[in-house]
Structure formats: structure tokens, C-alpha cells
Structure 1
């Protein structure tokens, strides 16, 4: 008799917030210590990413029965926000890995997928990206994944290959000889893989989000999957991972804004009090920034909880329930995107009103918060979300993109 446990590797979450905090917060604090210097010098955080691999962040979602921590999606994204507060570059690097882990957890148990879970337990890390270089689109994929003897051969070029320089594996999207869309996992160290540090964005500068070229790279049996079989809420997952980092940035603005206001030694002649920390208007600015952070965190919690509902429906094999939860997740994620991006951009800008000219010191590097937030906010089309939500509420128009329906949604630019 088939039970729900036979359908996927997903299990009800068992992790506690206290245990996750005890496990990961000390590492996050170490990562935070050098984040300003790394940002200023564009120093890639290889060591910091390794700390997290060693601690097991890559298996945080894997059930304890399979050697992981058994966290829910809500807990996972809350952790990612904590990491984003410490260093948003490091947090963003984990987006592709965590998404591929989620994909394998949603898959049916098999020897192939057992092998992938063992790789995760062995701390192997997945990076890469699906976006075509040279302005290619998902509808016009140039990258190919073609049969080559018993395996496959990958040729093409990708951009926004986030996390690639830190990875053991690269997740590549391409077409086969029949026009079908496949996902191929290739080893970063294999001949024919060329990774370029050519990401020139003014924010998120150490995420290794540049070009990845593939020239006849082998992909082995068991490492190639039909893209249409990817987990159905992956678009929501990718978006929520990015929103988590934005929440972390917004929290960091509160932290750094409070510290900078406390450090001010003088005030303007027009001020309500000669002491900046006693000036009611400056305190009001910090209070408003804290409210932005509160709204962002609440939106993240609410939206990520809906993804746990979708995962549970999928694990139970209830397709009708899964479809309803998928729509619920789409609506919640879109609303969260509007709230969190607005909060992050407002907080990273208005905090300077409380700080005076000293707030723009390159030593403090407070500009990094706006640059990083603006860069993350530019990845996916916020401008369309309110219209889609309105069309759903008023006309009942299905808000779930067709790409997500086919298992190909998600990474924006």
C-alpha cells in the first residue's frame, strides 16, 4: 500500500526556532563582523560560505530522517533573513542551492534522488542560473542539453549565475534535440565550464552573479531532469528567498541607524534639542524605519507560511488542494513583494534623515543598504504585481504565471 511518505522526501517540520538559532546565529554573527570591509573591498566571502556549509545550512530543510534539520519553509526563510542582516551577499548566494534542495525533496524517492540527498549531507553546494546570456529568454533557449552516449552534453551561456564561484554543482536549463526543456546539473570542476566574474551591478557585488559558459560539459545519468517536473512552487520559493534578504537588509538599517544616531556629537540649529538622541524628530525617523522593518518581517512570515501549505498538499498527493494552495501562495508572495520592497527602499533612504552629513561616511558604508536593496528589488517585476492582484480580486483572473505551471518559473532577470 502506498502512503504519503512514499510520494516525496517531504515530512512535517520538526525543527524548533530555538535549536535553529542556537545552531546558526553564532555563525551569522561571525559573518557580520567583516561584512562592511568585504563590501567596501569587494572581497568574495568564500570562507564565510564554507562556515555555513560546514554548519549544515544546506540541509536545513532536509527532514531529520534523511540527515537534515527538519525546518519548515517559514523557518528557513526567517533564517535567511537573519543571514541577510549579517551580510546580504552571503544570504543571496544560498538561493539557488536551497531551491534545488527543495526540488529534490519534492521528487519521488529513487536511487538517483537518494544520491542527491547524500551529496547534500556531504555539504556539496549548488549554484548556477537559468537566465540566458545575450538577452535570450526562456521562450528562446539557446543552451542545449543533448544526448551524448550514455549521458548528456551541455553547451551554452548563462548570466545571473548566482553562487557559481562557490559551487560544486551548477544548475543549467537547456533544450534537448526534440525541443524539450531539461535541467542539467554539471560539476563546476569539469572541463568546459567557464565562470566569469563580470557582474557589474552596483549592489550585491560579491554574489558571483556573472556569466557561466558551458562548452561540451558532461552531465551524467541521474543528473538531468525534465524542467516540467520541477517543484510547482519554485517561482514562489525563488522570490521569497530574495524577499528574505531584503527583510534582512531592512533590519540591518534599523541596527545601523540606531548606532549612527547614538554616535552623533552635534545637531543642527533648527533642531528641537541640541542632543541628537533627544531630538524628537530624529527619534521619529528611527521609529518609522523600525516600523518598515516590522512590516517587512510580518509580510515574509505570512507569505512563507503559505508555501508550507503548498508543500504539505504536494506531499499528501492532493492535486486539487495543491492547486488551491499554489494560488494562495502566488497571491501572498505578490503582496509580500509589494510590502517588503516598499519597506526596504523607504527604510534605506529615510534613515539618512536622522543622521546628518556624518551618515554618508564611507567608513560607515550605509549606502550599501540602499544599493543592495535596490539591486535585489530590480530582479523581478514589482511594477506588475499590484495589477495582477487587482485582476485576481476583481475578475478572478488566475494569478499564477504559465511558466510556474510548467515548472519553469522563477529567477527573474
Structure 2
């Protein structure tokens, strides 16, 4: 409390006030519009600039901002549920939002100030954040070549990044670089600065329209209020980035159920060994679709459970309770790893086994059902699930701290 009795606030975070029904009513019609051209965009590698603009105009970029600051007051659980709904409509469009939503969360976790008020205003005005931290050629925190240095009273950013997801749709790019000495900084630079060069050289077989290629920076200026020590970014940043990817994967599993049902209904003939001449009434094919729906249910339940733990971390941080925050970060680490294993397995199983309910027509390029597996496999490759079960077991049996010290490991980034 202040001397006058007014309550002080440590952050911009507030308890959620939005209802799931209100959020769905606002955003689902836009998601449905996004879904309409999904197959053609994927087939012809058409970048969804218009679709991202629709979502900006609907206010998706400010969904987490509290109502008192001009946003919709959604919880993290609600935000990631919306992202999964968008992932069902178009996995690429949903993944484009990952960097923006994470930087909004970072500013909400920050202490109120004139600088941060300006960032909240930018979000409300529809400014969109893209970019990436990762450098090609096995770059790590320890070997960062990108620099963020003061020069003549201004900050200058020089270097190159890869995996620059969302960059082509952005107003601002979030760049990680070395400061003086051993300091690591993040700088927000304007996308339209002449020193910024974005190259669509992403060669992955999934995420074809997420603009995940190269970003080059040559003497790009940054203002004082747009440069932050990397160590001061919000404490659950890695969990946030990971959960954003899991949201898209959960959405993909639901899209597989939707498209699998439609394709099975459209089948005109069945095999001689079938239980029914009509594929849509064949008990074995119905069993396949039923099993795929279980994978979608598993993914959705795991996403909901894990994202709730992040709401608890945010609440502890907003209250200034460091003891509770530390414990909740540990719980979030465990829950996020468990969700990663469950959701990735569900997505890869669903995107493969759905073809067992379909005939040769199921592999038609007109349906493009392979896009679900390609996008799921690509997202699942961002962060190595192969290590997660071991880490979980070591925590459960030996109480070995599962929370990684990325700086000490020489690694870092958005979800690593």
C-alpha cells in the first residue's frame, strides 16, 4: 500500500475475468473464416497475411491483457484453448502467433512503467511481434554472434537468426544478442527498418507458411525502452513457448478427427473383407475414427491441465510470492513435460492411424490430409521429447530438479 492507502501493483497481471463462452463467441467466427482456405494455402504455399490481419482486428493479440488495461482478461488456460481452436482451423496461422503472445506475456509480467505502458498501448493498437532467438550452425547462448550494443547513444543490432517464426507478418522483431561483456539482451526492432532483411528460405516439410526462415540485421536501431536483459524475461517463458506449440498440436488432432469423419463419409465403396459394403457403417472403420477421437481428447485434456499450472505461476509472480512461485515453476515444468509427451504422441498417432479408416482416396492431394502429419511432425521436432520421460523419472524417483538451467547448459531460446 502507498502512504495514501492506494494499492500498489507489481505487474500488469490480474486475475482472469473472461468467460470461455464470450471468448469463443468473439473469435470462433474468425477461426472459421481462417479455416476456409487452409488446404489451398497449404497446397500452394500462400502466406496468410489476410488471415493474420483478421485476427489482429478481432483482438487476439490483446486477449491476455486485463480488461482494466484495454484487453479481454483471458487466463492462460483460456488463451491456449483459443490457440488450439485456431490450430484446428489452420496450424500454420496458429503457430505464427507464438512469439507475439509470448512477448505480450513478458510485458504483463513486468513492473508498471511509462516504457511498459507504451508497449501495452502498442498491443492495443494492433502491433504484432515476430522474430526468433535461434542462430543457425548450432548457435547457443555461449556462442551468440548477434550483438546488441550501444553506439552513439543508441542501441544497434547486428547479426542473423533462423527459425524467425512470424517475421513476415510482424511490426516488431524480438532479437536476442550479446551485449557488453557476458550480458545477453533482447531488443525489439521495427520490422520495416532498412537494416532488416527477411528471407523466406524455410525448407521444412511442415510449417510451410509460418515464415520460419532467416532474418538478417545490419545496424538496426533500438530504443532504450525496447531493450531488455534476457535474464529478466518472465520466469515461465520456456513453458509458455512450449505450451503454445502443444496448443497447435492439440488443434491438429481435432482437425484430423474432423477431416477423417468427412473422408470416411465420402467413401463410396469398401473392401471385400469389410463388415459392411458402406464404409460409414463398417464397425472396424468406425472404431478407427473413435480411436482418433480419443487422441484428440487426450491432447485437449493434457493441454488444459498443463496450462492451468502456468496460471498458478503467473498468480504467484503477480503477488510477489517468490517461495510459491519457485514451487509452481517446478510443478509447471513437470506438467509441461508430461503434456508434451502425451500431446505429441496423440498428434502423431492420430495423424497416422486416421488413414486406416480411409481407402486409397484418402491420400489424394486434393484432400491433403498429409498436411496434418507434416505439421505435427515438424512442431514435435522443435523440442526433444526423447529426453523428457527420463527427466520426469529422475525427478519422481530421485528428486533431481527437472527445471533446466539453460544458460549453464549453453542453450537457450523459445521453448528449448
State whether structure 2 residue 82 is matched by structure 1 residue 83.
Answer: no
Cα offset for 1:355? 0.3
Residues 332-343 of structure 1: matches in 2 within 5 Å? 332-343=335-346
Moved >6 Å (runs of 4+): none
Alignment match of 1:186 (pick from 173, 184, 189): 189
TM-score of the aligned structures, taking structure 2 as reference length: 0.97
Cα offset for 1:135? 2.4
State whether structure 2 residue 19 is matched by structure 1 residue 25.
Answer: no
Tell me the matched-pair count: 413
1:123 is aligned to 126
CA shift digits 1:250-299 (9 cap, x unpaired): 00000000000000000000111111011111000000000000000000
1:44 is aligned to 47
Alignment match of 1:293 (pick from 291, 296, 302): 296
Cα offset for 1:405? 9.5
SS of residue in 2 equivalent to 1:184: strand
TM-score of the aligned structures, taking structure 1 as reference length: 0.98
Give the RMSD, CA atoms, in angstroms: 1.5
Question: Using the alignment, how far apart are the partners of 1:275 and 1:220 within structure 2?
Answer: 66
Question: Using the alignment, how far apart are the partners of 1:74 and 1:292 within structure 2?
Answer: 20
Residues 222-371 of structure 1: matches in 2 within 5 Å? 222-371=225-374
Cα offset for 1:409? 4.9
Deviates more, 1:23-32 or 1:138-147: 138-147
- Asked whether the equivalents of residues 232 and 405 of structure 1 are also in contact (C-alpha less than 8 Å), the reply is no
Question: Using the alignment, how far apart are the partners of 1:138 and 1:33 within structure 2?
Answer: 41
State whether structure 2 residue 345 is matched by structure 1 residue 376.
Answer: no
Q: Name structure 2 gaps, 5 residues minimum.
A: none
Question: Using the alignment, how far apart are the partners of 2:75 and 2:392 within structure 1?
Answer: 26
SS of residue in 2 equivalent to 1:6: coil
2:205 is aligned to 202
SS of residue in 2 equivalent to 1:50: helix
SS of residue in 2 equivalent to 1:297: helix
CA shift digits 1:304-326 (9 cap, x unpaired): 00000000000000001000000
Question: Using the alignment, how far apart are the partners of 2:280 and 2:7 within structure 1?
Answer: 58
- Asked whether the equivalents of residues 77 and 304 of structure 2 are also in contact (C-alpha less than 8 Å), the reply is yes
State whether structure 2 residue 75 is matched by structure 1 residue 66.
Answer: no
Q: Name structure 1 gaps, 5 residues minimum.
A: none
Cα offset for 1:151? 1.9
SS of residue in 1 equivalent to 2:379: helix
- Asked whether the equivalents of residues 236 and 410 of structure 1 are also in contact (C-alpha less than 8 Å), the reply is no
